[in-house]
């Protein structure tokens, strides 16, 4: 560990914006992943000048800087595997401008997604990428991970909603990227490159985002399938069926069982449930899309078809999906729900096979895995339920993760749909992008010659995620 | 008193449960302590991570850590927000039990009795959680039982009960906000709401003072009234309720939970105070209608807004306070001119 000039840091960001008590460092050493490693110090800048000062200091001293929003990333993106300064951006949380005529807003990176949407609501518009973690995720973190969510099938991911940004580079230089216009063909679109770069290229200090009108009508439907394959066919047909759902979610039977066991919601004990939603300004158009999706489900033996426009009814239909996480956590006393092989994307035609594969892999490796996800975007999520204190369970998890991503690659899928790479998906990412890694490293070097920004992540992360850092669980050998 | 050695007696049983926390952070934004400091290290998740550090022997116990564990208003917002059903406050209570009477024992947001205590036992009788008792000639707080509701701090006739950390709920802090607001030209009314009856979180959630543009536009403060959120209505002392009048506020509205819905019976305490203050207002030449208490059910934002609108209408009919209190004002002016 390098000695850090704490008084200098306090000079830059103020006495009250620096923390170095071991307890604080321990807390900032975690995110929603399985990893754990402590930063050397935590600083919380309040404005752009302070970020510039910090980046100049860190670059001169060659100290790693890990930019952090809410630390809800699931792959260790904000775990300081090489120590350094954790840059907590929650101190920069102002909504700077909402501009309805020009259809954009400007925000600081620490603004929480839900807060932004509350502020936009009176204007009849919303910011759509919204991940499931929107109540805590910051715009900066969503940019870092290129977050997306249940409605991204229709409205796109963070990258699609971002018009421009201001970024501080190592050394402290502030640059303005992108525009405030809807389209741009002015050279390299560097701001789009920053999206999904997981804090390795620069510190975003302001983002210009576009928004869309809140639809007048929203209708949510549900279908049950006795066979996973049927649900898979329905997904592929819906997505090729000439309509654009605003949501298309898959929940598998492991999740259904968990919800039923712990919540008593009485979901039908089937292999898969599909939730489908359409939205729009004209009811007839929404009706048409919902009917189309219902028919597709029926064609593939979907049963229990129901749908509703009513907000309360919709909440009821969505309850099973919503209660997934607590259900998995409560599934058994001994098992914890870990974020591993947490997300991937495969072509629509492979969704069902992917889910089946996940179940097979889990069974073979003596762990429990559930498959669910925003299948309208081709996105599949899993959780691994395992006895985290048992060393052999980690061996199993390691094998399972490898097998799953081998399959993903074999069907031309991608390692991450929305959660990013961080530490825990590095091996699969490197295998998938083998021929562009050198280019990525060259880009990283152009932005960050001294490699201070989130070093040892993405293409530079170790292949073995189990030993990349300490695990955040107590593992008995 | 002999200090005992720090041991993880109570926490041990939560070992598996701590693994259940998926670290999603859903509990953050609801925690008034986090809202106030905006440091992740004060969020409920952070408390769990820290306790995990203790259990796994990766952190040495310290007063600093104990202070975090004892700093909690027991509002349970984190539990209702938790994505994984973690019983956070139960875990915190057990953690407190491990810290109590060790060299790391501390007070956090729990109540502390100062030297001015006259042993009148008012606070002991009033504590809704049986957390105050008389022992060896002193009144002490059982800091495991204490829920930091603040009733005792607001009741003590000698103002001898306080807490080390208040996170924006103390009179000095609130008074500063009241004074700042009422200096503005259009400002008329202070509305006190508890963290339950109306739940926009503590006013300090905007992190900065009024100069920060963070306060999202939807909550853009009405220039004529300001909502101040305390944790529990029972915390509102009589002097605090009078503070706005001293700053020429036109009126004060207090919103509490409906009867039977406050765990601390803070709504009853608050109602009693408002009732007692009315004749005092009359004696000060202030129309007692300028102080009103309304009961608002948890999360009833619309009801709350309606109550505010009605009150504002009434207050505008009554007009500014200055006319009514011209005498007081004169006294003040005289004082200033002779200075
Ligand atoms: C329960 C749960 C559900 C989730 N659901 C979804 C989902 O539906 N969709 C989805 O996409 N994700 C999801 N996630 C993952 C995660 O919440 C999101 O990716 C989110 O956008 C991360 O935001 P954050 O503020 O927590 O960022 P952090 O985790 O703090 O950071 C994420 C990355 O962004 C970088 N970063 C942060 N701020 C800046 C900045 N100002 N400048 C440059 N880089 C920065 C960090 O270095 C890091 O690499 C979920 C997570 C959990 C725990
Ligand atoms: S119970 Fe305590 S930790 Fe939980 S939200 Fe309330 S104050 Fe925060
Ligand atoms: S909401 Fe629950 S699971 Fe999520 S971080 Fe808080 S305690 Fe952990
Ligand atoms: S009245 Fe409230 S703050 Fe005082 S000791 Fe009892 S529980 Fe604690």
CB B45 near ligand 3, within 6 Å: yes
Span(s) in chain A for CATH 3.30.70.2190: 217-327
Pair of tokens at residue B255: 């919103």
Span(s) in chain A for CATH 3.30.465.10: 1-214
Residues A416, A343 contacting (CB under 8 angstroms): yes
A286-320 residue pLDDT tens: 999 999 999 999 999 999 999 999 999 998 888 88
A7-50 residue pLDDT tens: 999 999 999 999 999 999 999 999 999 999 999 999 999 999 99
> What's the mean pLDDT in B316-332?
68
Question: Chain A closest CA to B49's CA: distance in Å?
Answer: 6
Ligand 1: centre distance to CA A147 (Å):
7
> What's the mean pLDDT in A211-227?
97
Chain B contact set for A112 (CB, 8 A): 29
Q: How high is the pLDDT of residue A319? A: 85
Size of interface A-B (CB pairs under 8 A): 126
Residues A34, A95 contacting (CB under 8 angstroms): no
Ligand 2: centre distance to CA B83 (Å):
15
> Closest residue (by CA) to atom 4 of ligand 4?
B152
Closest CA to A74 of A15, A131, A128, A117: A131
Output the DSSP codes for A239-256: HTTT---SEEEEEEHHHH
Q: Does B64 touch chain A (CB under 8 A)?
A: yes
Give me the phi and psi of A240, to 5 degrees please.
Answer: -100, 5
Cα–Cα distance for residue pair B103/A443, rounded to 1 Å? 53
- Assess whether pLDDT exceeds 50 at residue A283: yes
Q: How high is the pLDDT of residue B220? A: 55
**A329-471 sits in which CATH class?**
alpha beta
- Assess whether pLDDT exceeds 90 at residue B59: yes
Give the ligand whose atoms come closest to the C-alpha of residue B109: 4
Is A400 in a helix, a strand, or coil? Answer: helix
B262-306 residue pLDDT tens: 888 889 999 999 999 999 999 988 999 999 999 988 777 788 889
Print the SS3 string covering chain B.
Answer: CCCCCCCCCCHHHHHHHHHHCCCCCCCHHHCHHHHHHCCHHHCHHHHHHHHHHHHCCCCCCCHHHHHHHCCCCCCCHHHHHCCCCCCHHHHHHHHHHHHCCCCCCCCCCCEEECCCCCCCCHHHHHCCCCCEEEECCEEEECCCCCCCCCHHHHHCCCCCEEECCCCCCCHHHHHHHHHHHHCCCCCCEEEEEECCCCCCCCHHHHCCCCCCCCCCHHHCCCCCEEEEEECCHHHCCHHHHHHHHHCCCCEEEEEECCCCCCCCCHHHHHHHHHHHHHHHHHHCCCCHHHEEEEECCCCCHHHHHHHHHHHHHHHHHHCCHHHHCHHHHHHHHHHHHHC
> Closest residue (by CA) to atom 8 of ligand 3?
B21
For the entire predicted model, the pTM comes to 0.92
Chain B contact set for A72 (CB, 8 A): 23-25
> Taking the CA of residue B22 as centre, how many other CA atoms within 13 Å lie in the half-sphere pointing to its CB?
30
Q: How high is the pLDDT of residue B337? A: 32
Chain A contact set for B26 (CB, 8 A): 133, 135-136
Name residues 317-346 of chain A within 8 A of B (Cβ): 325-326, 328-330, 333-334, 336-337, 339
Domains and CATH numbers, chain B: 11-100 (1.10.1060.10), 111-163 (3.30.70.20), 171-333 (no CATH)
- B25·A71 Cβ contact <8 A: yes
B97-107 residue pLDDT tens: 999 999 999 99
Give residue for tokens 């050394």: A171
> What's the mean pLDDT in B105-130?
93
pLDDT band at A359, cuts 50/70/90? very high
B150-209 residue pLDDT tens: 999 988 988 899 999 998 888 888 999 899 999 988 889 999 988 766 544 433 334 333
> What's the mean pLDDT in B101-114?
94
Cα–Cα distance for residue pair B295/B315, rounded to 1 Å? 19
> Closest residue (by CA) to atom 5 of ligand 2?
B31
> What's the mean pLDDT in B246-254?
94
Q: How high is the pLDDT of residue B195? A: 75
Ligand 1: centre distance to CA A30 (Å):
13
Domain A217-327: which topology?
Alpha-Beta Plaits (3.30.70)
Residues B218, A121 contacting (CB under 8 angstroms): yes
Segment (H or E) for A330: helix A324-330
Ligand 2: centre distance to CA B44 (Å):
6
Is ipTM beyond 0.90?
Answer: yes
Segment (H or E) for A305: strand A303-308
CATH number, domain A1-214: 3.30.465.10
Q: Does B134 touch chain A (CB under 8 A)?
A: no
Question: Which DSSP letter does residue A90 get?
Answer: G
Residues A130, A140 contacting (CB under 8 angstroms): no
Name residues 20-49 of chain A within 8 A of B (Cβ): 21-24, 26-28, 30-33, 42, 44
Q: How high is the pLDDT of residue A258? A: 87
Q: Which of A137-146, B163-172, B328-337 has the highest mean pLDDT?
A: A137-146
Pair of tokens at residue A362: 């889990």
Output the DSSP codes for A40-52: SEEE---SHHHHH
Our CA angle for A126, B210, B28, nearest 5°, is 55
> In chain A, what is the straight-line distance between the N-terminal and C-terminal CA atoms, in Å?
27
Q: How high is the pLDDT of residue A253? A: 92
- Assess whether pLDDT exceeds 60 at residue B54: yes
pLDDT band at B333, cuts 50/70/90? low
Count CB-CB contacts under 10 A for residue B72: 27
Q: How high is the pLDDT of residue B28? A: 83
Cα–Cα distance for residue pair A150/A277, rounded to 1 Å? 10
Chain A contact set for B28 (CB, 8 A): 70, 136
> Closest residue (by CA) to atom 39 of ligand 1?
A140
Question: Which DSSP letter does residue A463 get?
Answer: S
- Assess whether pLDDT exceeds 50 at residue B26: yes
> In chain B, what is the straight-line distance between the N-terminal and C-terminal CA atoms, in Å?
51
pLDDT band at B331, cuts 50/70/90? very low
Q: How far is CA A423 from CA A37, A81, A454, B86, in A?
A: 12, 9, 11, 26
Pair of tokens at residue A27: 């807390």
């Amino acid at each position: 560990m390098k000695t850090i000039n704490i008084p200098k840091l306090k000079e830059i960001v103020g006495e009250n914006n620096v923390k170095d008590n071991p307890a604080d460092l321990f807390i900032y050493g975690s995110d929603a992943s399985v990893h754990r490693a402590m930063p050397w110090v935590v600083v919380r800048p309040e404005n752009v000048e302070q970020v510039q000062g910090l980046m100049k200091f860190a670059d001169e001293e060659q100290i790693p800087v890990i930019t952090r929003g809410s630390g809800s990333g699931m792959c260790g993106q904000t775990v300081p595997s090489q120590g350094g300064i954790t840059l907590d951006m929650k101190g920069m949380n102002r909504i700077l401008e909402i501009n309805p005529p020009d259809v954009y807003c400007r925000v600081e990176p620490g603004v929480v997604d839900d807060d932004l949407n509350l502020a936009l609501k009176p204007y009849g518009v919303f910011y759509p990428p919204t991940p499931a973690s929107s109540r805590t995720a910051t715009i900066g973190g969503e940019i870092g991970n290129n977050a997306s969510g249940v409605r991204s099938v229709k409205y796109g991911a963070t990258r699609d909603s971002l018009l421009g940004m201001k970024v501080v580079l190592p050394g402290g230089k502030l640059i303005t990227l992108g525009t405030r216009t809807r389209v741009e063909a002015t050279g390299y679109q560097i701001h789009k490159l920053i999206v999904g770069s997981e804090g390795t290229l620069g510190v975003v200090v302001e983002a210009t985002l576009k928004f869309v009108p809140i639809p007048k009508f929203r209708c949510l439907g549900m279908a049950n399938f006795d066979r996973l394959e049927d649900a898979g066919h329905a997904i592929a047909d819906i997505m090729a069926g000439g309509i654009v759902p605003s949501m298309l979610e898959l929940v598998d039977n492991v999740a259904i069982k968990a919800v039923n066991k712990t919540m008593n919601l009485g979901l039908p004990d089937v292999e898969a449930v599909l939730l489908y939603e359409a939205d729009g300004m004209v009811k007839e158009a929404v009706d048409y899309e919902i009917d189309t999706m219902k028919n597709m489900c029926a064609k593939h033996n979907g049963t229990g078809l129901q749908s509703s426009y009513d907000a309360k009814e919709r909440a009821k239909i969505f309850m099973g999906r919503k209660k997934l996480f607590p259900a998995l956590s409560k599934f058994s006393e001994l098992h914890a729900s870990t974020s591993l092989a947490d997300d991937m994307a495969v072509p629509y035609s492979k969704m069902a096979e992917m889910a089946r594969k996940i179940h097979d892999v889990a069974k073979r490796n003596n762990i429990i895995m559930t498959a669910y996800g925003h299948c309208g975007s081709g996105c599949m999520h899993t959780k691994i339920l395992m006895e985290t204190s048992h060393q052999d369970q980690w061996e199993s998890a390691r094998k399972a993760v490898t097998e799953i991503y081998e399959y993903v690659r074999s069907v031309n899928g991608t390692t991450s749909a929305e959660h990013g790479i961080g530490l825990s998906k590095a091996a699969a990412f490197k295998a998938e992008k083998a021929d562009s890694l050198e280019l990525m490293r060259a880009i990283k070097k152009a932005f960050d010659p001294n490699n201070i920004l989130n070093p040892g992540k993405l293409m530079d992360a170790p292949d073995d995620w189990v030993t990349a850092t300490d695990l955040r669980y107590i593992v008995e050998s | 008193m002999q200090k005992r050695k720090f041991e993880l007696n109570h926490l041990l049983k939560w070992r598996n449960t701590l693994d259940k926390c998926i670290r999603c952070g859903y509990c953050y934004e609801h925690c008034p302590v986090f809202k106030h400091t905006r440091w992740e290290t004060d969020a409920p998740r952070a408390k769990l991570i820290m306790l995990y550090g203790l259990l796994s022997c990766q952190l040495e116990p310290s007063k600093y850590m104990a202070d975090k564990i004892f700093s909690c208003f027991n509002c349970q917002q984190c539990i209702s927000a938790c994505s994984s059903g973690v019983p956070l406050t139960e875990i915190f209570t057990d953690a407190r039990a491990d810290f109590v009477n060790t060299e790391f024992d501390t007070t956090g947001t729990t109540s502390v009795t100062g030297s001015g205590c006259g042993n009148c036992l008012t606070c002991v009788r009033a504590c809704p959680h049986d957390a105050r008792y008389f022992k060896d000639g002193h009144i002490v707080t059982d800091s495991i039982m204490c829920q930091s509701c603040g009733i005792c701090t607001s009741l003590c006739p000698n103002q001898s009960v306080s807490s080390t950390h208040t996170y924006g709920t103390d009179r000095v802090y609130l008074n500063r906000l009241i004074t700042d607001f009422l200096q503005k030209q259009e400002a008329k009314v202070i509305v006190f709401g508890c963290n339950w009856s109306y739940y926009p979180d503590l006013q300090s959630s905007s992190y900065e003072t009024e100069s920060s543009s963070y306060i999202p536009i939807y909550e853009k403060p009405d220039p004529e009234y300001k909502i101040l959120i305390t944790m529990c209505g029972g915390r509102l002392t009589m002097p605090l309720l009078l503070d706005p009048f001293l700053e020429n506020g036109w009126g004060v509205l207090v919103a509490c939970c409906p009867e039977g819905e406050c765990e601390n019976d803070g709504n009853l305490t608050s109602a009693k105070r408002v009732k007692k203050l009315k004749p005092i207002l009359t004696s000060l030449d202030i129309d007692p209608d300028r102080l009103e208490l309304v009961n608002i059910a948890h999360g009833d934002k619309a009801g709350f807004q309606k109550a505010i609108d009605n009150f504002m209408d009434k207050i505008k009919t009554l007009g500014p306070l200055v006319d009514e209190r011209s005498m007081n004002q004169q006294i003040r002016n005289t004082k200033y001119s002779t200075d």
